[in-house]
A and B are shown apart, each in its own frame.
Chain A
């Protein structure tokens, strides 16, 4: 029973969502299930918060490696929450902290991509075999074609940006479609396995 009950819940909830797609009459039940999921997710957030706080307090208490970084984490966590409760989130210290600390830090992390693209390209784009050569040539054309340098004409009027647009509109689009269709079929297969209880690894069973 302990193993069958979660499988039954998965089957019933899954079938309701599938049936609702074809039958508008099931919309209220589907919406009810969606609301329940949101409630469960919100309560799970409490668990996550408790986990984060406990681990970092433990780290400070035991003075484990890197414990010093747990202090600003906890100060930030409690501080931002208090600022929002006391001063609100429309203006005041919360907004100042968000705009002057949170946003620049997010932008900084995002900016790492520019450097990592360069280092990943340097490491990965080696012409080891013919597929790698095709990847390399396409990458160079698209990289240059996507910036104003690629608008310079050569061979008469043929521009790198025109070749780039062709690559994006045809081979790239074909590849994107193939991945999307393949992934969609994979979703159907895994969903069917989960609904029918064949796939149970997400419950921790084999």
Chain B
């Protein structure tokens, strides 16, 4: 047994009590640390930590919920919550630097990147089990006891959103109608399409421009190529440009977006090529003005007042500038054909233009001008789809009326809601 040396107590010391006592006191003090630090009480722990896959996403997210700490209140002991994560229940756990303020009883762990795109927290990987702990943090860094998650949570990828089944069914039904009538048309069946005054007048308008020796002005809207109305406008441009080329007139296409200008230029060039007049194509006639809405309008008005076109086509998305364009066009004596699916601008075009294509007529115009059976077939299919919708509107209205009288009757409103 070691002997005392220089007064230092040893294991053979006959006075073990003082050393043992100091160790016991130290142990007692340290055991109080979780609950008493510098005199501060620690907050009660949150409870009932649950985790599940965040729904309807590509994976990489876990939704966590918990019951608040009993000390979570205004002026209470809790300042915020801390989450810890591990791939093993026994750990080691990594503290996640999320900022979860008091009052929060849920959080979505989906990783975090800083403003420079650098990953601060990696998102949970799919199909991997994750275990979480949550701690309530009090003033001065005092921590509550940990609450362990009830079972692992796994992030998964969802392959189908069941809340959109109704939309899928509607899309399939409508598409089937359209495809059926395209097929019918390809078999040579005669399909009746009601005449659209605005489209019947296209040839007349271009002929007028040719006789007067004035150009045709075509505006494919003010939005970019990601707008379906712009796409519709540009498809019609191809057909109008072909007619203009055949009539040996000029076509001016001032564009508000660079991408639209690039595509319009190609479309018009190909149209002239198809018409056998590649030499007549003037690339400078398709020009970019500005993205700014009213700057573009000012530019187009200037073109109208200088070039005095005989026929103006406004086909695409328009906003407040629609009336300014149409009135200026009217003042120079041009025949004007407009088409848009913007309900707020239609009244202006109806008032100021000679012919207006309303809503779906804009999208039908290209098919109409092509006279191709397959394209005309799609219009018939679209109309049959509209009949189905009309049927649902009538049935729904009748049910809604009876629901007013008896709320317990069947309600089909939820059939048409999309998650």
Contacts and interface: CB of A to CB of B under 8 A. Distances in A.
B161 A51 contact: no
> SS class of chain A's interface: helix, strand, loop or mixed?
helix
A88 B161 CA distance: 46
Contacts, number: 221
B58 A189 contact: no
Nearest to A26: B58
Contacts of A26: 58
A191 interface: yes
Given A183-B341, A189-B378, A110 B294 contact: yes
A34 B277 CA distance: 37
A206 B272 CA distance: 12
Contact of A116 (B159, B236, B324, B366): B324
Q: Chain A interface: which size bin?
A: 35 or more
B347 to A, nearest CB: 9
A116 B328 CA distance: 9
A24 B168 CA distance: 14
A25 B161 CA distance: 10
B378 A21 contact: no
A66 B306 CA distance: 9
A189 B364 contact: yes
Interface in A34-56: 37, 40-41, 44-49, 51-52, 55
Contacts of A27: 57-58
Contacts of B290: 52
Contact of A193 (B171, B287, B378, B389): B378
Contacts of B210: none
Given A185-B382, A202-B263, A204-B238, 10 more contacts: A24-B158, A47-B262, A109-B298, A112-B324, A124-B350, A188-B382, A194-B231, A201-B238, A203-B267, A203-B270
Interface of A: 18, 21-28, 37, 40-41, 44-49, 51-52, 55, 58, 65-66, 69, 105-106, 109-110, 112-113, 116-117, 119-121, 123-125, 175-176, 179-183, 185-194, 198-199, 201-206
